[in-house]
């Protein structure tokens, strides 16, 4: 009988090396998972819970009644606190009883006073997290004496125009409308357009921005560039530039595989600079963080420049058209900045220092010489592919009742 052979020193060394490697891999994986659980896991769990919880008017009403009473100094009555909420509701009900026909209604036409009151109470007051007194004189709801009411009226025009120009004709549109709460989410002022992941994760290194002209060619001459990007700028500000200055220079045509190119295109003769690739990647990171999705939510991982407009045979057909939708939404953020003063948004005294004043400095833009708090992707989405406070007229795939008044849907 042959005696068992002992492993050679070389075999023993290989075995020990493999065992050590396995142990190191396990420890490393466990360490990274532990760090992830401390840093990102709670935030992602909270986002998942929020995504699964539809927005309700009661969210905003609870924010009002649970807040401490405020002390306005501009002549308005307090609009926060339980007492303010009760007084506003009682005054509104009395106004409707005394004025069944509308008075000084300019946007929500075709509705009765009672219908307008119900909508305003739930979806405007609730959406902004403020009582009726924020905009109205409780003794005369038709009065335009407070600037906040004029701004709110213009914001209703904004809701209608956003739905008409950008939402209802989205590719493969699913019936999700924008409403007040979509942006405000119970917060009347200082909306955050850039989440903490953007603020913490994008290093502010200097980069050179080479935007594309109307023919899709990079502009290399600093004298031909917009003033804000003529010299080197921080990477964070370069990302902001593309979020608010996006254009499509070759509209999508299913018959043309080279179409659909916009400001972030990298597929050009000769390629782009490393700085431009870095900017592009961090713009995409911002969008990914804002919507809580990965790259393949919009892109074919084997062909990033393709537009997946035919869901037949795709493993996730519900993702079809998402890249076209994202392109339209980037045009929306650009349109918002260009038109923000038109809709009565109140200018701010200045850009606050980072993380002070209710929103980070990235959420403020200099427009026509004045500082404005302008929405971005994160403002509405806040980590959800479909904004939690979007109004859906087809819940769970079944025909439902649209709570958004016809005047605000962007459809006749």
Inform me whether the pLDDT recorded for 364 exceeds 60.
Answer: yes
Which domains does the chain show, CATH number per domain?
Answer: 57-180 (1.10.468), 186-387 (no CATH)
Q: Which two tokens stand for residue 44?
A: 């992602």
Residue 81 has pLDDT above 90, yes or no: yes
Three-state DSSP state, 383: coil
Whether residue 310 is predicted with pLDDT greater than 80 in this model: the reply is no
pLDDT surpassing 60 at residue 385: yes
Largest CA distance in the chain: 110
Residue 117 tokens read as 């009151």
| Selection from 305, 325, 302, 331 nearest residue 314 by Cα | 302
Q: Flag whether pLDDT at 412 surpasses 60.
A: no
Residue with the bigger pLDDT between 44 and 64: it is 64
Pairwise pLDDT comparison (310 vs 218), residue with the higher score: 218
- State residue 396's pLDDT score: 44
**pLDDT tens-digit readout, 196-238:** 889 888 888 999 999 999 888 899 999 999 999 999 999 999 9
Nearest residue to 373 (alpha-carbon basis) of 403, 395, 351: 351
Query: For residue 330, what are its two tokens?
Result: 């980037």
Give pLDDT, residue 275: 96
Residue 41 has a pLDDT of: 66
- Quote the CA–CA distance of 17 and 10 in Å, as a whole number: 10
194, 204 contact by CB (below 8 A): no
Question: Are the CB atoms for 288 and 295 separated by under 8 Å?
Answer: yes
- Average pLDDT, integer, range 47-56: 67
For the stretch 322-359, pLDDT in tens is 899 999 999 999 999 999 999 988 899 888 776 566 78
Task: State the pLDDT at residue 402.
Answer: 47
pLDDT in tens, 157-180: 999 999 999 999 888 888 889 999
Q: Is the pTM of this model over 0.85?
A: no
Burial of 136 (0-12, 13-18, 19+ CB in 10 A): buried
pLDDT band at residue 254 under the 50/70/90 scheme: confident
Burial 293-331 (b: 16+ CB within 10 A, else e): beeebbbeeeeeeebbeeeeeeeeeebbbbbbbbbbbbb
Is the pLDDT at 400 greater than 60? The verdict is: no
């Amino acid at each position: 009988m042959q005696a068992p052979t002992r492993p050679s020193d070389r075999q023993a060394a290989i075995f020990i090396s493999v065992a050590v490697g396995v142990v190191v891999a396990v420890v490393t994986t466990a360490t990274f998972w532990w760090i992830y659980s401390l840093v990102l896991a709670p935030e992602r769990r909270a986002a998942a819970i929020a995504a699964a919880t539809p927005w309700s008017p009661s969210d905003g009403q609870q924010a009002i009644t649970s807040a401490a009473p405020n002390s306005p100094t501009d002549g308005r009555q307090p609009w926060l606190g339980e007492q303010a909420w009760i007084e506003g509701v009682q005054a509104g009900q009395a106004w409707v009883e005394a004025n069944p026909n509308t008075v000084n209604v300019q946007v929500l036409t075709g509705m009765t006073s009672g219908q307008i009151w119900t909508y305003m109470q739930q979806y405007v007051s609730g959406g902004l997290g403020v009582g009726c007194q924020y905009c109205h004189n409780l003794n005369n709801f038709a009065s335009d004496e407070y600037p906040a009411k004029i701004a709110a009226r213009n914001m209703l025009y904004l809701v209608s125009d956003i739905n008409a120009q950008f939402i209802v004709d989205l590719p493969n549109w699913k019936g999700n409308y924008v409403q007040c709460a979509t942006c405000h989410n119970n917060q009347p002022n200082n909306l955050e357009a850039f989440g903490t992941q953007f603020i913490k994760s994008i290093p502010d290194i200097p980069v050179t921005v080479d935007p594309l002209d109307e023919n899709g060619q990079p502009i290399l001459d600093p004298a031909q560039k917009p003033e804000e990007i003529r010299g080197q700028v921080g990477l964070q500000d370069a990302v902001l530039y593309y979020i608010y200055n996006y254009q499509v220079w070759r509209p999508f045509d299913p018959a043309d595989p080279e179409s659909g190119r916009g400001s972030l295109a990298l597929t050009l003769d000769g390629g782009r600079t490393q700085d431009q690739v870095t900017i592009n990647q961090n713009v995409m990171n911002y969008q990914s963080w804002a919507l809580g999705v990965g790259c393949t939510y919009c892109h074919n991982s084997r062909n990033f420049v393709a537009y997946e407009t035919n869901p037949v045979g795709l493993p996730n057909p519900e993702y079809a058209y998402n890249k076209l939708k994202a392109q339209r939404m980037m045009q929306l953020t650009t349109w918002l900045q260009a038109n923000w003063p038109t809709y009565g948004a109140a200018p701010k005294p200045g850009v606050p220092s980072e993380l002070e004043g209710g929103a980070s400095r990235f959420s403020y833009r200099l427009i026509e010489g004045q500082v404005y708090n302008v929405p971005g992707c994160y403002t509405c989405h806040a980590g959800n592919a479909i904004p939690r406070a979007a109004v859906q007229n087809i819940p769970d795939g079944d025909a439902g009742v649209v709570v958004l008044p016809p005047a605000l849907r962007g459809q006749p």
